[in-house]
Structure 1
Amino acid sequence: MDRTVINYLTNLVHDAPFIPVPTLSTENKQFFQIDPNFGKGTFRILKFDSSLILILIADFTPNETMEKITEVSEKYLEISQFETESSSFKVGGRKLNNVEKGIYCYLNTEKKTYTYCETNKPVKFTKIILTKEYFDTFLKLKYDDFEYEKAKILNSYLLKTQNSPQLNFIFQQIRESQAEGKILPLYLESKVMELLSIIITRLEEKEKNISVVLTKKDKQNLKRVVSAMKKDLSVHIDGLELSKIALISPARFQLAFRKYYGVPPYEYLKELRLNKALLLLKNPEYKISTIAKKVGYTHRTFC
């Protein structure tokens, strides 16, 4: 079992079908190309002088299913943005989970984690690895008692805000950064701090005075509502229809949704649409009018 997550992940590519590209690599950035016999695409590792943070950026398509088994004894937090849906994972003996597009959080449980990338399907993600030491030093100084042991609340929050345009935009800035040399780790750490600051600030500001009590069934039905929203963002669904999906009265639905997700239903749907538009704008083949229709707007203002 590897002693540190940074060492494990830094050395991981040497056991995988990736070939170093020295001409594109620097002290703080390692650039790899997948072996042509195994697929096409690239993999980048962005390193920090402190060795407490690591960023992994993948953009490749394997021509056969790739499996990665991770078992690290060190405690760490992983915050990831997936732009594709071709990956799956399981922790220990648990069931296999498919990864959807969006932002995820993983707290290492020191159990074996199995990750799979499917044959001939693109894999595109950005992962931020934060060690326990980073939480208990840098973050604790900035946010008083916010230490690693409280990081599980980040996990709960990010599961509900996977499609936050603000958070996804920061991941895009990290992914597309043109900074080089000593400026690169400074820029990246500022983005990581911005990401965590937004999450922690929103957690502190979360509405606490909503009196509605949510049962386990209520929470399951609210998740069904979000699934219905995501199914087709070009379709208009009013609050009455959403409350019927949640099996809750319209008045209670508004309170329940805000209690669980921190924002009203329309605001959540608006964030889903803005994030989808953000991703579609990266494709030069789409016109603004086309993107607007795909996310449910009939004009170009996206508001």
Structure 2
Amino acid sequence: MNQSIIEYFRNAPEQLHFVYIPEISKPKDRYYKMLSEYGNGNFRIIDFNRMFLIIMASFTPKKSFEKISNIHQDYFEISQFETNTSSFKVGGRKAKNVEQGICCYVNTNKTVHAYCESGKLTKFTKIIITKDYFDSFLKARYGDNYENFKDAIHYVSPNPNSLELNFVFQQIRDCEAVGASQQLYLESKVLEILSLVTHNLNQSLKRTRLSVKLDKKDIRLLSKVITFMRKNLAAYPSMKELASVANMSTTRFQMAFKQIYGTTPYQYLKEMRMNHALLLLQNSDYSVQTIANKVGYKNAGHFAGIFKTTYGITPKKYRVIHHIP
């Protein structure tokens, strides 16, 4: 039997050995707790009249598991992962690790396999948006321009590095409102995410008018540069070193990188560092100095200044607001 994406996620908690907790649940905000014999953690689903879902999960399974889904429905999934302990594969492709930060998926009616490792924390916030939401809600708000959102979704999937998107996801996770106030606030955040995605697409379309001719191999090599930077956040690579990873001259590499990712390699690296710092502040008890070192800054004051410029708040104040020791 074919399930809708809404039905699939409504059934997912019990299939993953979570039990519904009615005492702290609300009609459209359901809490689940993992059964102790299978691990520990929680799963939360906020339903917006079957148009989109917000899912928040934080759990550590006692055994590794695989979750298989095959949804015959058009939908878009955008997530913020705060851990890198899970992986997935689509159709017959190789499994890919899910990195910390933004992860996007556009359903193409292919089977999706998700894997979580035993003894390791998996923590994420997902937004699942149905085609009906685009057709009914977004067209009413944006008229004929709503079609741009579909193009934007396909654009953001391989280009998810965004400081703004990461920060909005943290605001969603930190929301303490209930009832109608919660629904209004969270829907406004979903629309903010869609607006950011659309803005990024428009900037990309402007860049392609001044394009460098790139083939699939060039784009694949540029993605290796991103992987290299992600694995070496504390390093100080030269432009020549980054260009060599892409197998390009320095000049062509800089032009090609900006065309694909919309910014310079060093600016992209800075954004990756700030994204990771945000997650470390949220999910660890490292000192600000230690976090600064981990993301490539020897001086904590310099790091704090860049963080404040980026997010409008110092690292220490961010921790106070989020009740982190």
Measured against the shorter chain, the TM-score band is: over 0.9
What is residue 164 of structure 1 aligned with on the other side? 162
Corresponding residue for residue 76 of structure 2: 77
The question of whether the paired residues in 1 share the 8 Å contact of 2:30 and 2:44 is answered with yes
SS where residue 236 of structure 1 aligns?
coil
Cα distance in 1 between the residues matched to 2:78 and 2:145: 17
CA distance in 1, matches of 2:223, 2:62: 34
Structure 2 residue matching 1:84: 3-state secondary structure: coil
User: Aligned-pair distance for 1:268?
Assistant: 0.5
In structure 2, what is the equivalent of residue 228 of structure 1?
Answer: 228
TM-fit CA distance, 1:62? 0.4
Which amino acid is 1:166 matched to? E
TM-superposed CA distance for 1:146, in Å, is 5.0
| Residue 240 (structure 1) aligns with | 240
Q: Give the one of 166, 170, 175 matched to 1:177.
A: 175
Q: 1:245 to 1:91 in 2, by over 3 A?
A: closer
Distance 2:104 2:284 in 1: 30
Match of residue 33 from structure 1: 33
Conserved in 1, the CA contact under 8 Å of 2:152 and 2:197?
no
Shift of 1:167: 0.7
CA distance in 1, matches of 2:33, 2:106: 29
The equivalent residue for 1:204 is 202
Measure how far apart 1:155 and its partner are: 3.4
Give the alignment of 1:84-99 within 5 angstroms.
Answer: 84-99=83-98
> What corresponds to 1:301 in structure 2?
302
Amino acid aligned to 2:291: I
The CA deviation at 1:153 is 4.2
* 2:197 is the counterpart of 1:189: no
Q: Which residue of 1 aligns with 2:154?
A: 155
Three-state SS of the structure 2 residue aligned to 1:40 is strand
Normalised by the length of structure 2, the TM-score is 0.86
| Larger relative contact order, structure 1 or 2 (CA cutoff 8 Å, min sep 6) | 1
Task: After TM superposition, give the deviation of residue 287 of structure 1 in Å.
Answer: 1.8
Q: Which letter maps to 1:110?
A: N
Distance in 2 of aligned mates of 1:88 and 1:211: 33
What do residues 257-293 of structure 1 show as CA deviations (whole Å, max 9, x unaligned)? 1001111111111101111111111246222222112
Query: Is residue 210–residue 255 contact of structure 1 (8 Å, CA) maintained in 2?
Result: no
Paired with 2:282 and 2:260, the residues of 1 have a C-alpha distance of: 31
Q: Which residue of 1 aligns with 2:276?
A: 276
Structure 1 partner of 2:310 = none
Give the aligned partner of residue 217 of structure 2.
217
Identity fraction in percent: 46
Rounded to whole Å, the distance in 2 between the matches of 1:296 and 1:94 is: 34
1-structure distance, mates of 2:274, 2:290: 14
Aligned equivalents of 2:14, 2:147: Cα separation in 1: 30
Match of 2:114 in 1: 115
Within 2, Cα distance between the matches of 1:55 and 1:218? 36
Cross-structure match for 1:251:
251
SS at match of 1:255: helix
- 2-structure distance, mates of 1:149, 1:282: 33
Q: Which piece of structure 1 moves more, 277-286 or 132-141?
A: 277-286
**Distance across 2 between alignment mates of 1:286 and 1:258:** 33
Whether the aligned pair in 2 keeps the contact of 1:3 and 1:72 (CA below 8 Å) is yes
Secondary structure in 2 matching 1:241: helix
Confirm or deny that 1:106 pairs with 2:118.
Answer: no
Matched pairs, number: 301
Given residue 26 of structure 1, which amino acid in structure 2 is its aligned partner?
K
Name the Cα RMSD after superposition.
2.0
Which amino acid in 2 is paired with 1:205? Q
Structure 2 counterpart of 1:183, which letter?
Answer: S
Q: Deviations over 1:183-226 (max 9, x none)?
A: 11111111111111011012112223323111222212211211
User: One-letter code of the match for 2:103?
Assistant: Y
Q: Tell me the SS of whatever aligns to 2:282.
A: coil
Contact map agreement 2:88 2:97 (CA 8 A) in 1: yes
Q: Which runs of 5+ in 2 are unaligned?
A: 307-325
